[in-house]
Amino acid sequence: MSMAHKPRFLIAALVFYAAVEGFSRIGLLNGYFMVIINESLIYVILAVSLNLINGITGQFSLGHMGFAAVGAYTSGAITTIAFRLSPDRPLDYSIFVLSLVAGGLLAALVGFLIGFPSLRLKGDYLGIVTLGFGEIIRTALNNMDFVGGPRGLLGIPKFSSFTLIFAAALISVIIIRNLVESSHGRAMLAVRENELAAELVGIDTTKYKVLAFSTGAFFAGIAGGLLAHLLQMAHPSQFGFMGSVLILIMVYAGGIGSLSGSILAAFVLTFLSQGLLLGIDALANATGLSIGSEWRMVIYSVLLILLMLFKTEGLMGTREFRLLRIPEEEK
């Protein structure tokens, strides 16, 4: 009978969860810190799912936040309506989970449709089409009055807790990891490596490009839903081009094609961004100089440039954490 491998990644993740939850309960981690952790975990989902499209399948997508927007608005609208219909009822988590899945599925449908231009376009050209798509979503939301238009969708109930976000991130990572470590994942890698050769060893390249886009979009939609229920709002400006670029930076900074890299970079860059904010404030207070917080992005960018200069292949290259790998000997 076959032996399952030790779920080392699951164990490590649960230790992380227990530590954060424990420290937060005894007051070692304040609310501010928990917001950053939650945001990092949401970015883990976004970066890993974009890596499936860009890193594993080799399609250049620049509109990932567009998928997140679809998920955020869909699930946000569902729970808001449910909440308005019966404001006295306690928060019902099953509605939340259903709304997340609905948001993910709608995003996947959009990803499926976006997948089709990718069949004809490659590289930069595909990037421009996906960029345009992201802007279309943002502009459309800006003009849809029933979801708040330019004011955004407000009053979304606060469903996203650390526990739920953590669970969603863990499940997303494991699903995408398992997908990559299967015949389907190998087919996606083949598309990235050499599309013609993939086709000529019997891979239906069309199917796998569309699969990558719709799967990536599904998880981006889930992440969007989590974000909306964390911030209790969804606003078109959150889902613009710069948001998509930030996710793309995480994928590259972590190592294109490395899921571990995306996880690492999501944490590092989210913490870096907040850390610089605090650091600059502290420096300004200590020295009495008026250092504006706009310097944050300057330093952040310089650090990114240095990273890409000295570690071109990203933090992890194409390697994976040993924890995340499924050993070849596993029967």
Partner 1 sequence: MKSLLKISGMTHRFGGLAAVSNLNIELPQGAIYGLIGPNGSGKTTTFNLITGIYRPSEGSIRLDGREIAGMKPYRIVRLGIARTFQNLRIFENLSVLDNIRIALNGSAHSGIIPSVLRTPSFKREEKAIRDKAYELLKGMKLEYRADQMAKNLPYGEQRRLEIARAIATEPKLLLLDEPAAGMNPKEVEELMALIIDARKAFGLTILLIEHHMKFVMGICENITVLNFGETIACGRPEEVASDARVLEAYLGRRGAQC
- Kindly provide the b/e burial profile for residues 193-210, where b requires at least 16 CB atoms within 10 angstroms of the residue's own CB: eebeebeeeebebeebbb
Give the length of the chain: 331
The DSSP 8-state label assigned to residue 154 in this structure reads E
Nearer CB in complex with partner 1: 124/330: 330
- With binding defined as CB under 8 A, does residue 101 bind partner 1? no
Helix (H) or strand (E) holding 279: helix 259-287
Question: Segment contacting partner 1 (CB under 8 A): 62-70, 110-118, 178-186, 259-267?
Answer: 178-186
Nearer CB in complex with partner 1: 19/119: 119
The DSSP 8-state label assigned to residue 87 in this structure reads T
- CB of residue 214 to partner 1, shortest distance in Å: 11
Token representation of residue 306: 């240095």
In the window 179-208, what residues touch partner 1 (CB under 8 A)?
A: 179, 182-184, 186-187, 189-190, 193-194, 196-205
Token representation of residue 209: 């490009």
- CB of residue 170 to partner 1, shortest distance in Å: 14
Nearer CB in complex with partner 1: 204/281: 204
Question: Segment contacting partner 1 (CB under 8 A): 81-89, 175-183, 220-228, 238-246?
Answer: 175-183
- CB of residue 242 to partner 1, shortest distance in Å: 30
Interface map 201-240 toward partner 1 (x if CB under 8 A): xxxxx-----x-----------------------------
Alpha-carbon span 136 to 128, nearest angstrom: 12
User: What angle is formed at CA 112 by the lines to CA 201 and CA 159, rounded to 5 degrees?
Assistant: 125
Judge contact between 55 and 193, C-beta under 8 A: no
Interface map 237-276 toward partner 1 (x if CB under 8 A): ----------------------------------------
Nearer CB in complex with partner 1: 7/150: 7
Tracing tokens 């650390």 back to the chain, one arrives at 162
Nearer CB in complex with partner 1: 2/30: 2
Tracing tokens 């907040």 back to the chain, one arrives at 274
Question: Segment contacting partner 1 (CB under 8 A): 21-29, 39-47, 177-185, 231-239?
Answer: 177-185
Terminal Cα distance for the chain, rounded? 9
- With binding defined as CB under 8 A, does residue 312 bind partner 1? no
| Cβ neighbours of 187 (radius 10 Å) | 20
Nearest to 184 by CA among 277, 325, 56: 56
- CB of residue 3 to partner 1, shortest distance in Å: 10
Binding-site size for partner 1 (CB under 8 A) equals 28
- CB of residue 186 to partner 1, shortest distance in Å: 5
Judge contact between 215 and 108, C-beta under 8 A: yes
Nearer CB in complex with partner 1: 97/189: 189
Alpha-carbon span 185 to 169, nearest angstrom: 20
Nearer CB in complex with partner 1: 52/131: 52
Alpha-carbon span 130 to 110, nearest angstrom: 11
- With binding defined as CB under 8 A, does residue 328 bind partner 1? yes
Alpha-carbon span 34 to 56, nearest angstrom: 31
- CB of residue 199 to partner 1, shortest distance in Å: 4
Q: What share of the chain is helix, strand, coil (3-state, %, to 5)?
A: 75, 0, 25
The residue ranges that bind partner 1 (CB under 8 A) are 2, 175, 178-179, 182-184, 186-187, 189-190, 193-194, 196-205, 211, 318, 328, 330-331
